[in-house]
Amino acid sequence: MEKRDIASYSLDELKEQIKELGLPQFRATQIYDWIHKKGAISFYEMTNIGKQLQDKLNDNFVIFSCSIEKKLVSRYDNTVKYLFKLPDDEYLECVVMDYKYGLTICVSTQVGCKMGCSFCASGIGGFKRQLSPSEILGQIYAAQRDLGIRISRIVLMGMGEPLDNYDNVIKFLKLVSDENGLNIGMRHISLSTSGIVPRIYDLLDLNLQLTLSVSLHAPNNEIRSKIMPVNNKWDVDELLKACKNYADKTSRRISFEYAMIKGVNDTPECARELSKKLKGFLCHVNLIPANEVPEKGHERSDDNNINAFKEILEKNGLTVTIRRTLGSDINASCGQLRREKLSETRGERSEN
């Protein structure tokens, strides 16, 4: 029988499992505490449960843990990037950033991505599979363990589209915010989506105090459909309507992500059109100088254009930031390390 993924269970689910094994309930609380508070990756670290139970758990369950394939530390700031290897030989990435207000981790939610955005490295090699709740959590536990630190903020902005792995992501959010676990408040978590509109409404119904980031990247359908195929399914107006509902219901400011791509979406006309679209919106615009991904053939906008774009938005009353590029020497943007790994592996294969 395949061993069950114990770190994906909520405390209540774990209690059920423990009951089925004929064990008292307090054991579930102890085990949950070891996994989610103390970061244990083996039942044999659980010193207060006895050898017999350790063996029994080990026969029935597995504690997922990420194994570090590669770790890069930026020379410029304290950014650390990990490439993790999964048991099925897939790779995933996460980045730990040292922001002024606490250590932030950027986690992946899928291996690969189905959404096919033209500028993004995550979809190179296609979509492989969903990550389980424990595989999303495991990135945080592995980084904490390796660095001997405590993470205080989480952004779901690594590889993959979180709302395309909705159930596992919601489960992850519940586990990571659980007071019996890491206990990171929803206000310290941001979820970024390319705009799967029905799932934004589902999220809204849950009324979590989560920050929603939306990858807008264009002021109109013509440009957005060219760079983000998802726009053919749910267009800019439908997306903005869902965002408006989200902001109204949660009173949380939406963060719009806008990658500045030279000659594609960075003109003053685009800035004026975007200002009109977002007028009166409870939001924040985050301009991201596009990371150049060799296979994708797009260029980063010039600083002058980025600054001019920002100025136009601000003149129209919008709050705007230009995202700092952290860890620029270690390919710290999503999907890039895995992209390198994949091409390395392809290279090895073609030499054989």
> In whole angstroms, what is the distance from residue 280 CA to residue 290 CA?
27
Backbone angles phi, psi at 236, to 5 degrees: -55, -45
**Choice between 65 and 211, CB closer to ligand SAH:** 211
Residues facing residue 321 across a β-bridge:
286
The nearest distance, CB 194 to ligand SF4, in angstroms, is 4
Binding mask 114-133 for ligand SAH (x = CB under 6 A): -----xx-------------
CA 266, 267, 271, 276: dihedral to nearest 10 degrees?
A: -120
Separation of alpha carbons 208 and 210, rounded Å: 5
Gap between the Cα atoms of 223 and 149, Å rounded:
42
Nearest Cα neighbor of 181 from 333, 36, 337 is 36
Q: Which is nearer to ligand SAH, 127 or 281 (CB)?
A: 127
Q: Please report whether residue 215 would count as binding ligand SAH according to CB under 6 A.
A: yes
Q: How far apart are the first and last CA of the chain?
A: 37
Q: Is 79 in the site for ligand SAH (CB under 6 A)?
A: no
- Judged by CB under 6 A, the stretch of 50-58, 111-119, 147-155, 248-256 that binds ligand SF4 is 111-119
Of residues 93, 135, 257, 266, which one binds ligand SAH by CB under 6 A?
A: 257
Distance, C-alpha 64 to centroid of its chain: 18
Which residue in the set 122, 177, 286, 305 belongs to the binding site for ligand SF4 (CB under 6 A)?
122
**Residue 133 in the binding site for ligand SF4 (CB under 6 A):** no
Q: Does the footprint of ligand SAH cover residue 105 (CB under 6 A)? A: no
For ligand SAH, the closer of residues 135 and 161 by Cβ is 161
Residue 215 touching ligand SF4 (CB under 6 A): yes
Long-range CB pairs of 224-233, under 8 A, 24+ apart, other chains included: 226/118, 226/264, 227/117, 227/118, 227/119, 227/261, 227/264, 227/265, 228/115, 228/117, 228/118, 228/194, 228/195, 229/115, 229/116, 229/117, 230/115, 230/117, 230/194, 230/195, 230/196, 231/195
Residue 123 contact among ligand SF4, ligand SAH, none, beta carbon within 5 to 8 Å by kind:
ligand SF4
How many Cβ atoms from other residues are within 10 Å of residue 233's Cβ? 12
Nearest to ligand SAH of 214, 271 (CB atom): 214
Select which of 93, 135, 161, 257 is catalytic: 93
CA distance 185 to 209: 8
Q: Which stretch binds ligand SAH (CB under 6 A): 15-23, 49-57, 88-96, 284-292?
A: 284-292
Residue 334 falls in the annotated catalytic set = yes
Least distance from C-beta 215 to ligand SAH, angstroms?
4
Using the rule CB under 6 A, which residue among 125, 133, 138, 160 binds ligand SF4?
160
User: Measuring CA to CA, which residue among 99, 102, 160, 103 is closest to residue 135?
Assistant: 160
Q: 63 touches which of ligand SF4, ligand SAH, none (CB within 5 to 8 A by kind)?
A: none
| Burial class, 298, CB count within 10 angstroms (exposed 0-12 / middle 13-18 / buried 19+) | middle
Query: Which residues are identified as catalytic?
Result: 93, 334
Q: Which residues bind ligand SAH (CB under 6 A)?
A: 119-120, 157, 161, 192-194, 215, 257, 259, 288, 290-291, 293, 333-334
Q: Which residues bind ligand SF4 (CB under 6 A)?
A: 113, 115, 117, 120, 122-123, 160-161, 194, 215
